[in-house]
Amino acid sequence: MKKYLLALDQGTTSSRAILFDRDQNILAISQRELTQIYPHEGWVEQNPMEIYSSQYAVMVEVLASSGIDPNEVAAIGITNQRETTILWDKETGRPIYNAIVWQCRRTAPLVQELLDQGLGDHIRKTTGLVPDAYFSATKIKWILDHVDGARERAAKGEILFGTVDCWLTWKLTGGKVHITDATNASRTMLYDIHKLDWDDTLLKALDIPRAMLPEVRSSSEVYGYAALPDAHIPIAGIAGDQQAALFGQTCFAPGDAKNTYGTGCFLLMNTGTRAIESKNGLLTTIAVKLGDTVQYALEGSVFVGGAVIQWLRDEMRFFGEARDAEYYAQKVKDTGGVYLVPAFTGLGAPHWDMYARGCLVGITRGTKREHIIRAAQESIAYQSNDLLLAMQRDCNTQLAELNVDGGASRDAFLMQFQADISGCPIRRPVIRETTALGAAYLAGLAVGVWQDQDELKQLWRCDTVFQPEMDDATRKIKLHGWDKAVGRSLHWMEPEKES
């Protein structure tokens, strides 16, 4: 029995590869940062060839550094930044435009056109999503509108669309396989999550040819084989990064929830085989598809989570290393009344305001750098708490605990503040690489490395539990201040000025 699993974790800021054994021990990690391209204000792009080349490079590096024979790898699992949109030439394999990243706001007017056509309710009920420029659908239309001849060629099947998982699978299999999984399809704003098919009404409204779309498969099966110099390894698991993290946290039962602290923050709660329609601005999405069984989730997204720390480091130059934020935040006893709302690209759930912008309020003559850094740290927890409250209202239940992962979950100050402001125990696992672990789990199940989810559940181990320590009165005052600050950031831009 081959006992190694290779997870390819293609994220917004980097491409990573992690090699696990069947006991979920990490044997090797390799990572390369990804170039971010900002052609105009609010636009975010990446080079699809760099996405692939960086991912391929770390895959080869991780195998070489581990000393493991590629033929001993049972399967590859892929997890990816979601909604990021790539169109490429089927014959040459060359992209026809840069990847438009999920954060990009350029298609906000196209979303408004859909709303003006009265399609808002149809989008919510069919796709489970809130109409927004965040998702893939309007990004596809934008590229087809702006690249000469693209729509006509796409109708003939000469131009292919894919999210990042689809692009990587196509490249790794030498152009033999054009597929995506149900979790990624559910993030395009084109996929009927109930009928499990592309939606003709939305395809027609956006003038997107069905011929360019990938086949939608389950999250755990053998899709094809990655061609390496000395081996052909089955690609056997695919899930969007947040669904992969939910699976990696073994949130298999209805009511299980996790929050991932990355570039953005993503809170997901498993709702089982029932798709719950949110009344509080959350998304209904596919959590996982195993065989013919679909599990759904409620999801809330914070667009700017850990990215606010990167902003303080790179643009404001408040410190040299992201990890220094934790140190500076603890140099003051509180924020001195300062709130930072990092709505740099609008606000996600539960507000869904494409025209919100960042604001810093409560500044006095005594405000210091440390106060602003602490306010930035706290903003991540406040935004996550907004999601948690919305989720509890939708499910009419109090969350017993929250599993956490992602880079910023290493920050003990942030995790304690999250427990305090949410009044909820926070559980951090021993294996923090839960996104990659989820991809490995899905791939391993498909090829028999693990027999079932019960076996995976027994492997999960808790590292730290952060218990709430803040009194209710203090929590109420802080949350009131946060709500006031968010109110200042809403509807800042005028819709006609976003183009």
> What is the reported pLDDT for 499?
43
Structural domains of the chain sorted by starting position, each given as residue range(s) with its CATH number in brackets: 4-217 (3.30.420.40), 250-498 (3.30.420.40)
Is 90 exceeded by the pLDDT of residue 193?
yes
489 contacts 356 by C-beta, under 8 angstroms: yes
Q: E strands, 174-316, where?
A: 179-181, 191-192, 197-198, 215-217, 220-228, 231-240, 257-261, 265-272, 283-290, 293-302
Crossing angle, helix 120-127 and helix 108-116, to 10 degrees?
Answer: 100
> Is 12 among the annotated ligand-binding positions?
yes
- 114, 190, 205, 382, 494 from 120: Cα distances, Å: 7, 13, 12, 28, 20
> Is 16 among the annotated ligand-binding positions?
yes
Q: What is the mean pLDDT of the chain?
A: 93
> Is 105 among the annotated ligand-binding positions?
no
Single-letter amino acid code for the residue at 410: R
Single-letter amino acid code for the residue at 6: L
pLDDT digits (tens, 9 = 90+) for 208-253: 999 999 999 999 999 999 988 888 999 999 999 999 999 999 999 8
> What is the reported pLDDT for 496?
58
pLDDT digits (tens, 9 = 90+) for 40-86: 988 999 999 999 999 999 999 999 999 899 999 999 999 999 999 99
Nearest 10 degrees: CA dihedral of 420, 425, 430, 432?
-60
Q: What average pLDDT does this structure show over 116-143?
A: 94
> Is 153 among the annotated ligand-binding positions?
no
- Where residue 498 falls among pLDDT bands split at 50, 70, 90? very low
- What are the tokens at 431? 């294996």
Buried b (16+ CB within 10 A) or exposed e, 13-37: bebbbbbbebebebbbbbbeebeee
- What are the tokens at 102? 């999920």
DSSP conformation class of 421: H
> Is 306 among the annotated ligand-binding positions?
yes
pLDDT digits (tens, 9 = 90+) for 365-408: 999 999 999 999 999 999 999 999 999 889 887 888 899 998 88
> What is the reported pLDDT for 395?
85
Query: What sign does the CA torsion over 289, 290, 292, 297 have?
Result: negative
> Is 313 among the annotated ligand-binding positions?
no
Q: Is 1 exposed, middle or buried (0-12, 13-18, 19+ CB in 10 A)?
A: exposed
> Is 310 among the annotated ligand-binding positions?
yes
Cis amide bond preceding 350, omega within 30: yes
- What are the tokens at 255? 């009511």
Is 70 exceeded by the pLDDT of residue 497?
no
> Is 242 among the annotated ligand-binding positions?
yes
> What is the reported pLDDT for 189?
97
Task: Name, in order, each residue with C-beta under 8 angstroms of 336's C-beta and a sequence gap of 6 or more.
Answer: 362, 364, 366, 367, 368, 371
pLDDT digits (tens, 9 = 90+) for 86-99: 999 999 999 999 99
pLDDT digits (tens, 9 = 90+) for 317-347: 999 998 899 999 999 999 999 999 999 988 8
User: The whole model's pTM is what?
Assistant: 0.86
Q: Is 477 exposed, middle or buried (0-12, 13-18, 19+ CB in 10 A)?
A: exposed
HSE value, Cβ hemisphere, 13 Å, CA-based, for 281: 16
> Is 175 among the annotated ligand-binding positions?
no
Closest CA to 83 of 110, 113, 56, 105: 105
Is 70 exceeded by the pLDDT of residue 348?
yes
Backbone angles phi, psi at 404, to 5 degrees: -130, 155
**Terminal Cα distance for the chain, rounded:** 55
DSSP string, 251-286: --STT-EEEEESSSEEEEEEEET--PPPSSSPEEEE
> Is 453 among the annotated ligand-binding positions?
no
